Amino acid sequence: MLRRTHTCGELRDSHVGQTVRLNGWVNSYRGHGTGLVFIDLRDRFGITQVVFDGEDLGKEILDTADHLRNEDVIAIEGSVRVRAGGENPKLITGKIEIVVTKFELLNKTANPPFLPDDTGSGGKLANEELRLTYRYVDLRRPTMQKALATRHKLYQVTRRYFDENGFLEIETPILYKSTPEGAREFLVPSRHLPGNWFALPQSPQLFKQILMVAGCDRYMQICRCFRDEDPRADRQAEFTQIDLEMSFVRREHVIEMMEGFVRRLWKDMCGYDVPPIQKMPYREAMERFGIDRPDTRYALEITDISETAAKSEVAFFKDALANGADRPRFNSKRGVVKAIRVPDGAAKLTRKMTDGYNEFVRGFGAGGCAVVKVNAAGEFETGIAKFLASVKDELKSVLKLVPGDTVLFVADTYSVCTKALGELRQVVARDMGIVPKPGSEGGPWNFLIVVDFPMFEKDKETGRWVAMHHPFTAPNDDQAEAFVAADVNDEVTIEGIVSAGYDIVLNGQEIAGGSVRIHDPRVQSKVFTLLGLTPEQAKEKFSFLLEALQFGAPPHAGIAFGLDRLVMNFLGTSNIRDVIAFPKTQIGQDLMTGAPGPVTDEQLKDVHATAIRPRVP
């Protein structure tokens, strides 16, 4: 084989005169008859033009060259020369070409189902279903190669940073024990223990805490996690976390370390200097933005106008407020009226858009979304304008309204208003065209650390307390004693306890989340009591962790980053499948391998399982 001396991306005019060998795939061919054939040869490093020129190559080679087709695999030897036909500025190797002296057809391809070309057929990529089926062809596309390389670089920067900071990379089991809280799990039957099952880990949460008890001091792992839930554009059942845990630290120390990581990552990945990251309490995020991961690239903040609304003549405001305004409580069933001021909305938000908002908020249980415009004279127009006449000046002062503004109102319970306007805010921002492009395209990277999450929230269906993060999350240091002392039936107090958890939010997307863990058995047992777990049940579920905590557990805390989402940000894609080499579809299939597939009865018998097969119609 004519093994390569260079890649297809590295030859320049400085190489002119050298004899080189290249290996790669035929990216395109331009034949001018036997005797002059141009081949653009591609590997993952780039494209180089190769030319079969002249009769002295022999008829056989010239004839083969004339019939080379896209994606054939070839090797050539030849000399580098300046292009006789002029430079091609589209290629980084565009000043030179290789005149072939030796040639080897390494593998003739079957006609590929589509070409791995970023511009695609008819200017569009082939259907994603097809690209997933022939993933090995799609991955040849320069964009996909770049994605794989970016992901690789992120691994390296990550390992280097945490190594420098004294973290040990430690692998934890993939075959693990089922912990029914949280996401649905993938199950694996045991051959040796009939009727018993492994689960694939939702995260290595318990193991990393155990590693702290084990004296490892600082742990990191780039680990696969599994959650058998329906995917989204930025979510797969099988995904990757940068998982971390530290001993002898409190919340501030972890946050400091993570800020350092974020700073290093952005510096090394794209040369961006991340400024000091602002911290925002959960409660403030919910009040101002209606969501626990606010996108702070734009304003459009939410204002509670219940007091003013109560003095208006708007019937549905009054209806919502009939049970009394009740601002601070999150699970409250009582009413509020909230509004978003949209600067310049009068001109930019069309009737069709605002009609859509009405429908949109109904999707979150709200009765509707009222729209008022402030005209050039400062008067309210449309909809409920006349019923607001009595509070016009007060409203203008509370919302700081100016001519040209549009105001969007929702009146309902606290939780409905918050959720509906939090989601609506994002839609309005897109409609207004005020969401900057992601950072890789030059827009701002807006980081935020959200802290002081409630420890517990009420389950919507059962009405029982559930842990907002997970049951090992500690109350914040200043509340630990109050928590231990609290009456479990005192809902207001329990609801007010905030945890030592923290999320890192980037442009409205959660990229990391973690917490200080409970290392005090008193606190841990109180949490289980609140969650409705008896000591026996708690022991059943988490025995090994609870036991470990008794044998000298250091104070510890950790966090996990969503690696796939980080890569997405550096590539500016909103499709998680772009950053995973072999992703799955909406129903969890791998279209290339055909997984999941059936197994034989023999295999099932081995693991003491039987299949309930769907009826074949």
Partner RNA sequence: GGGGCGGUAGCUCAAUUGGUUAGAGUACCGGACUGUCGAUCCGGUGGUUGCGGGUUCGAGUCCCGUCCGCCUCGCCA
Asked if 595 touches RNA (CB under 7 A), the answer is: no
Q: Does residue 540 interact with RNA by CB under 7 A?
A: no
Near RNA by CB under 7 A: residue from 83, 283, 318, 329: 83
Only one residue has tokens 């590997």, namely: 43
Question: Smaller CB distance to RNA: residue 230 or 313?
Answer: 230
Build a one-symbol-per-residue string for 408-447: x at contacts with RNA by CB under 7 A, - elsewhere.
----------------------------------------
Please report, as residue ranges, which positions from 444 to 473 form the binding site for RNA (by CB under 7 A). 460, 466-471
Q: Which one of 23, 64, 150, 203 is in contact with RNA (CB under 7 A)?
A: 203
Binder among 230, 319, 481, 490 for RNA (CB under 7 A): 230
**Cα gap 276→298, rounded to integer Å:** 18
Among positive and negative, which fits the CA dihedral 473, 475, 480, 485?
A: negative
Q: CB of 112: closest distance to RNA in angstroms?
A: 7
DSSP H or E segment with residue 97: strand 96-107
Rank residues 32 and 386 by Cβ distance to RNA and give the closer one. Answer: 32
Check binding of 359 to RNA (CB under 7 A).
Answer: no
Q: Are 506 and 447 in contact (CB under 8 A)?
A: yes
Between residue 95 and residue 134, which ones bind RNA under the rule CB under 7 A? 97, 99, 111, 113-115, 119-130, 132
Alpha carbons 516 and 251: distance in angstroms, whole number: 6
Part of the chain binding RNA (CB under 7 A), chosen from 224-232, 240-248, 445-453, 594-602: 224-232
The conformation of residue 324, written as its DSSP 8-state character, comes to: -
Candidate list 22, 40, 244, 500; residue touching RNA; CB under 7 A: 40
Question: Cα separation of 339 and 352, whole Å?
Answer: 19
Give 34: exposed, middle or buried? Use CB within 10 Å, 0-12, 13-18, 19+.
middle
Residue of the chain from 5, 14, 16, 32 that contacts RNA (CB under 7 A) = 32
Q: What is the CA radius of gyration of the chain?
A: 30
Alpha carbons 410 and 362: distance in angstroms, whole number: 10
Binding of residue 537 to RNA (CB under 7 A): no
The end-to-end CA distance of the chain, in Å, is 55
Among residues 47 and 340, whose Cβ is nearest to RNA?
47
> Is residue 500 close enough to count as binding RNA by CB under 7 A?
no
The two three-digit tokens of residue 134, written as one number? 């022939």
Is the Cβ of residue 26 or residue 370 nearer to RNA in the bound state?
A: 26
Separation between Cα atoms, residue 365 and residue 129, nearest integer Å:
35
Applying CB under 7 A, among 116, 231, 422, 514 the residue interacting with RNA is 231
Residues facing residue 360 across a β-bridge = none
Of 13, 427, 585, 592, the residue at the interface with RNA (CB under 7 A) is 585
- Least Å distance, CB 529 to RNA, is 17
Nearer to RNA, 95 or 373 (CB): 95
Question: Of the two residues 4 and 184, which places its CB atom closer to RNA in the complex?
Answer: 184
The set of long-range contacts for 434-443, using a CB threshold of 8 Å and a minimum separation of 24, is 434/298, 434/300, 435/295, 435/297, 435/298, 436/297, 436/298, 437/572, 438/507, 438/569, 438/572, 439/270, 439/272, 439/507, 439/569, 440/270, 440/569, 440/570, 440/571, 440/572, 441/572, 443/297
Binding segment (CB under 7 A) for RNA, from list 8-16, 22-30, 353-361, 393-401: 22-30
Tell me which of 14, 156, 350, 575 binds RNA, using CB under 7 A: 575
Closest approach of RNA to the CB of residue 239, in Å: 9
Give the distance between the most distant pair of CA atoms in the chain: 95
Q: Which of positions 52-81 make contact with RNA (CB under 7 A)?
A: 53-55, 66-67, 69-70
Structure token pair of residue 241: 């976390």
Q: 200 or 388: whose CB is closer to RNA?
A: 200
Nearest to 20 by CA among 1, 41, 3: 3
589 lies in the site for RNA, by CB under 7 A: yes
Q: Does 241 bind RNA (CB under 7 A)?
A: no
Q: Among residue numbers 166 through 195, which ones bind RNA (CB under 7 A)? A: 179, 181-184
With CB under 7 A as the contact rule, the residue among 166, 324, 363, 378 that binds RNA is: 363
361 sits near RNA (criterion: CB under 7 A): no
Question: What is the CA 504 to chain-centroid distance, rounded?
Answer: 12
